[in-house]
Each structure stands twice: as C-alpha cells, then as structure tokens.
Amino acid sequence: MITKFRKISKIGFVILILYSKKGEEKMAYIIAEPCIGVKDTACTEVCPVDCIHPKKDEADFEKEEQLYIDPNECIDCGACEPVCPVSAIFPESSLPEKWKSFIEKNANYYKRKKEAVG
Ligand code: SF4
Ligand code: SF4
C-alpha cells in the first residue's frame, strides 16, 4: 500500500514539474516598463505569430500606455527583443526583479480582451 502511494506521489510530482515548465515556456517574453510612452510598435513588425498588441490600427492603441505580449501565443523566438529601441523586451527568465509585475500585466491585457469579447 505504502509503495503504491509512493509511486502515485512520484508520478504526481513529475506531472507537476512538467506542468510548471510548460507554464514557463508560455510566458517566454515580457514587455516591461521602458515601453511605456514609447510604443513605437517596432516589435509588432517582426513577430512571426502576431502576438504583440495593441497595434497602431487597433481601437485601444491610444488608451494603452504600452504594448503587451500574449503569453499563450508567443513562441519564444526572440525576434522582438533586439528591435526594441529602449530594451523593454525580456525573456521571462532574464526579466529584472523590479519589473516582475509586468509578467502579470502582459497576461492581464489578454485576459481583459477575452472577457470583453465574452
Ligand atoms: S519572442 Fe517571438 S513570438 Fe514571442 S513576442 Fe517576441 S517575436 Fe513574438
Ligand atoms: S519595440 Fe519596444 S518600445 Fe517599441 S512597442 Fe515594442 S516593446 Fe514598446
């Protein structure tokens, strides 16, 4: 019985690790504070999966103070990082501690968009 329990616990642990790793991959790149007020959209032009918004022709572009990366669509290619004139884009693993809140801020933009659609 104890052996069986240990086996199940081990499988659960492995699933948990895999699940958290998957989550990390999904939050690969983050746009942080330096984008605020700049919003030149250079990053949107190089993203191969169109996961950086809002773009200039989108209704909420003026309202949003910065652009955001969709954590569910980003494929972790890194193409956006070098084109940013103010170095606002980071892989999540290299995001400076002072800007950690931008992980949630990027994700929340897409949550709000989904909720608005219904
Ligand atoms: S890392 Fe690649 S896929 Fe992700 S936002 Fe940047 S350009 Fe787009
Ligand atoms: S390139 Fe940099 S400053 Fe320009 S919109 Fe993208 S993240 Fe913001």
- For 36-79, the pLDDT digits (tens) are 999 999 999 999 999 999 999 999 999 999 999 999 999 999 99
Domain with 90 in it: what CATH number?
3.30.70.20
Find where tokens 């790793």 sit. Answer: 21
For residue 21, the model assigns a pLDDT of 45
For residue 118, the model assigns a pLDDT of 72
pLDDT tier at 28, thresholds 50, 70, 90: confident
Ligand nearest to the CA of 27: 1
DSSP 101: H
Report how far apart, in Å, the C-alpha atoms of 36 and of each of 45, 51, 77, 103 are: 18, 18, 23, 15
89 lines ligand 2 (CB under 6 A): yes
pTM: 0.80
Q: Write out the residue range of the structural domain in which residue 111 sits.
A: 27-117
The verdict on residue 6 lying in a domain is: no
Q: What is the token pair recorded at 29?
A: 């790149």
Exposure class string for 27-39: b at 16+ Cβ within 10 A, else e: bbbbbbbbbeeeb
42 lines ligand 2 (CB under 6 A): yes
Estimate to the nearest angstrom the gap between the alpha carbon of 114 and the chain centroid: 15
